[in-house]
């Protein structure tokens, strides 16, 4: 996470409170994120917006990758030819 984004998060927390992340649960696009943060009087650069949305997209409700699913299920993930596992 970049220093600039951390600074913006601190600004949001100061304005909205410690539970600010709950206000973003319905955000499903980068544009919606920018609009919501703009309502709080904070402007994100395109790079900050992209980074922030990427982090939000990795929330607990995000879809797991094949590797993550396999690890959760206690199986082995086959990495490629030859059948090596991790």
Tokens of 30: 């980068």
On whether the pTM is more than 0.85, the answer is: no
Instruction: Tell me how many helices (H) and strands (E) the chain has.
Output: 4, 0
pLDDT of residue 60: 55
Sorted by where each begins, the domain ranges of the chain are 3-73
In this structure, what are the phi and psi dihedrals at residue 78, rounded to the nearest 5 degrees? -85, 125
| 3-class secondary structure, 85 | strand
CB 40 within 8 A of CB 16: yes
pLDDT tens, N- to C-terminus, the chain (86 residues): 889 999 999 999 999 998 888 899 889 999 999 999 999 999 999 999 999 998 888 755 556 667 766 666 666 656 666 655 55
């Amino acid at each position: 996470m970049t220093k600039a984004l951390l600074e913006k998060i601190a600004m949001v927390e100061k304005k909205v409170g410690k539970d600010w992340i709950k206000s973003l649960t319905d955000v499903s696009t980068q544009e919606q994120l920018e609009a919501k943060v703009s309502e709080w009087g904070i402007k994100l650069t395109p790079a900050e917006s992209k980074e922030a949305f990427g982090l939000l997209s990795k929330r607990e409700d995000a879809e797991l990758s094949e590797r993550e699913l396999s690890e959760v299920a206690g199986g082995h993930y086959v990495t490629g030819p030859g059948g090596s596992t991790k």
